[in-house]
Amino acid sequence: MSGQMVGSFNTDNTGALHDVQLDYYGQRVAAASADGMVHIWDISDGQQKPAGQLKGHEGPVWKVSWAHPKFGSVVASCGYDMKVIIWKEVQPGSWQIAHMDTSHTASVNAVEFCPWELGLRLACASSDGTVSILSYAADGQWGRTTFGANAGGSQTISWAPVQKRDGQPTATLRLVAGGCDNSASVWRCENENWSQEFPPLPAGHTDWVRDVAWRPVDGVSVIASGSWDKTVIIYSQEVDGQHWREVCRLSLPNKVESLSWCESGSILGVSCGEDHISLFKETYDGRFEEIGKVNEPGYVEVPSSITAAVAAQQGQKSVAEISSDNQEQQQMQQNVLDSFGMM
């Protein structure tokens, strides 16, 4: 199966884009630009309409993150100027700075809001080696906690999904951080105090960890870490508190830059080099196999044991069942592409 690109963004009026993120509903796009601005576009009707140019940084913007719509239209950005800025839309197309943090002493490389069930909290990873957590309190003030995560600099963070017990969400805060010490580590918050979890993630990379991604599903904890050593390692923890184990190691053709799970957690997208994205799907025995590649022309399926099994199964299905399966797979693939801003 192959596909074609179905849309694109006109970036004539922006600098190079370092990050592009869709909002919760997939109707707005925030882009981190080398021109020092955050560009917002409305794409709800299939067209690209400017919805804001957020000016507050004094250098390239590296990453952006949308908060859950429960908190309104809120976007966070970070950049080379060591700033973290939280923006709020007060009227359609009119944005204001809700909070600015200038406490980091080096470039801030990543920001990410936590799951909405845990409140309005933003994790920030910096080249000064620390991760800071900005938390919005009931009195309207922003609090800040910080911990040292990666010697030589932190590059990336990813929140754990909310775990449920007896159908109710727990209040446990966990995240994974990766950086220039060639490692990824898991951190836990208790009574607003952050500490590294033990047993730790096994060491495995030989170069910078450029991105980490916690699989967004309840149950078994699964973390992917991608490195400039051209590998992605998948870790699994069956029960909270047990040892993490390395499930598999994926080899890529170039330095890994970005990772993203689809919403169901069954497909992992890996971006490496300048224009290469690979899609990996979990097999019945817990391994991950490449099922497709994405570049500018579109999506191309890669033969694997998974696609072979699907083909064999489809040979015994009705036309209606095959059509339904294809639609589901296409939707999962589109979710991954959307997370990379390729629409």
In a domain, 1, yes or no: no
CB burial string 230-268: b at 16+ within 10 A, e below: bbbbbbbbeeeeeebeebbebebeebbbbbbbbeebebb
In a domain, 8, yes or no: no
How much is the pLDDT for 324? 58
pLDDT digits over 202-213, tens only? 999 999 999 999
> What is the total count of domains within the chain?
1
The CATH number covering residue 119 comes to 2.130.10.10
In a domain, 186, yes or no: yes
Q: Which residues contact 113 (CB under 8 A, 6 or more apart)?
A: 65, 66, 67, 68, 76, 120, 121, 122, 123, 159
Range of the domain at 307: 17-339
pLDDT digits over 110-128, tens only? 999 999 999 999 999 999 9
In a domain, 57, yes or no: yes
In a domain, 288, yes or no: yes
How much is the pLDDT for 343? 38
| Global pTM value | 0.87
In a domain, 9, yes or no: no
pLDDT tens, residue order, the chain (343 aa): 555 445 566 777 788 999 999 999 999 999 999 999 999 999 988 888 999 999 999 999 999 999 999 999 999 999 999 999 999 999 999 999 999 999 999 999 999 999 999 999 999 999 999 999 999 998 999 999 999 999 999 999 999 999 888 777 788 899 999 999 999 999 999 888 999 999 999 999 999 999 999 999 988 999 999 999 999 999 999 988 899 999 999 999 999 999 999 998 999 999 998 889 999 999 888 889 999 998 777 889 988 766 665 555 655 555 556 555 566 656 655 655 565 554 3
In a domain, 135, yes or no: yes
In a domain, 4, yes or no: no
